[in-house]
A and B are shown apart, each in its own frame.
Chain A
Amino acid sequence: MAVIESKEISKVFKASSRGEEDVKGLDSVSFIVRGGEFACLVGPSGCGKTTLLRIIAGLEQPTSGAVILDGQLIVAPGPDRGMVFQEFALLPWRTVVENIELGLEIRGVDYETRRKIADHYVGLVGLHGFENKYPRELSGGMKQRAAIARSLANDPKVLLMDEPFGSLDAQTRNIMQEELLRIWSKTEKTIVFVTHSVDEAVYLADRIILLTARPASVREIFEVRLPRPRDRLHYEFVNIRAEILTALSEEVRQKKG
């Protein structure tokens, strides 16, 4: 089971011109995500949640500190950490199934095999019948399902998701949250999920890592032990949500002040 350890990750953004100061984005962020866990990163806008996720993905390098996955140091992107983006990032000139099998194609898997695998994931994310459509023919929710299938088809250890439902309307968003949980239960991957929405975090996650305002460090880690599917009106749900929201608004106020 994949264990992600973030060890004192710091990130300094260098000033782009003279007279500007270096900006410290992340300040010694440390946390652990246990294997098979669904973890959410939550924090004030612009605190660096996405930067942190990208460092775990290997798309950016920390200024100091390290990310360790199953004992291995992360230095670059790789198929062991799949990533799902808010903009979906599907290749528009490829059909759904061609997008999904892309990772397998890169790894040299032969046509027959990768089609079979891709078809399996098409079914898993509920896109049966849409395999040969182009992304422009899909709705936002369907595109994101395809993106998730694409990452999963590569059989990564970890699935990193950067506000994946941020560009969907509220109804689709709720549907996709349930779909994600369904898919997750079938695949048992470790997930690190970045979101603005505390409600979404409490609905989805086992563990919620709340970051401070910039420069971000870990303010608090919340464990959510409610059984799924969760009831948004259940008092425990409401309590945890309130707790996190309070802490979050303090952070937001501090940033403003």
Chain B
Amino acid sequence: MRAVTYRHLRILSALLAVAAWQIVGLLGIFPRHLLPWPTSVLSSLVDLLVSGELASHILTSLLRVAVGFFIAAAIAVPLGIAIGWSKVVESLAEPILEILRPIPPIAWIPIAMLWFGLGLKPAVFLIFIGVFFPILLNTVAGVRGTSKVLVEAVRTLGASDRDILVKVVTPSSIPSIVAGLRIGVGVGWMCLVAAEMTGSSSGLGYMVIYYSGILETSSVIVGMLAIGAIGYAMSYVIERIEGHLLRWRE
């Protein structure tokens, strides 16, 4: 019995789930356009891979999320540090940000299309909105969470305000900032389908919408699984990077 490890159990569970799915399909409990068989999904996956369509959509979506992400990070991190550091900046920025923050990215779709038209720009904007707030909030929390004792200790070494900001506050905030980036990437990726409803003719979100329109449900499922798998992969990669960067943590 020692041979049966937890790992075996996990694999077994996954296989059983797929088998159950196929059996439910074979029994014909649900019509095939509502719940396609795993074999259909697999067949659609192969088609989409071979035609290069899936790869192309994945690349497009990744690119969109990357652009939205980097723009958001470039603004949110410095802004977050400024808000955490300066009460003046905080008082000026907070009212606007607090009102905007709870608005979900989907609600921004009409305005995004009004302001940016169709295609790439509103999609990137929507991803930007999704990514921006987690990064900002985590950055501010990181700055505010800077240990007072550390700041005082460095002051007794003769540090100026600028020294404190650069040598203590910013490095101290990096774990929070990186956590914010990781969460931001996740949120941005999840906004994909909503973002690509703004007139994109490519990308994984578009692919899901397109195939659902013509009731190709197995391709819809391929799209959903691809979105999930890549989201997972991105999260994993960032966690590894995080682990290496922050190896000084307790």
Please give the residue numbers on chain A whose beta carbons come within 8 Å of chain B beta carbons, in ascending order. 57-59, 77-79, 81-83, 85, 87, 89, 91-94, 102-103, 105-107, 134-136, 147, 150-151, 154, 160
Contacts and interface: CB of A to CB of B under 8 A. Distances in A.
Contact of A92 (B153, B157, B160, B249): B249
Interface residues of B, number: 22
Nearest to A76: B155
Which of A57, A77, A150 has the most C-beta atoms of chain B within 10 angstroms of its own C-beta?
A77
Contacts, number: 70
Contacts of A136: 248-250
Given A136-B248, A136-B249, A136-B250, A87 B156 contact: no
A150 B171 contact: no
Rank and list the top 7 A-B pairs by shortest CB-CB distance, nearest first.
A79-B158, A89-B153, A103-B157, A83-B156, A77-B155, A134-B248, A89-B149
8 contacts: A77-B155, A83-B156, A89-B147, A91-B171, A91-B172, A93-B171, A102-B157, A136-B249
Nearest to B160: A106
B150 A77 contact: no
Contact of A151 (B152, B156, B247): B156
A37 B215 CA distance: 87
Contacts of A135: 248
Contacts of A85: 149, 152-153
B163 interface: yes
Contacts of B154: 91, 102, 106
B168 interface: yes
A154 B248 CA distance: 24
Nearest to A59: B152
A179 to B, nearest CB: 20
B156 A106 contact: no
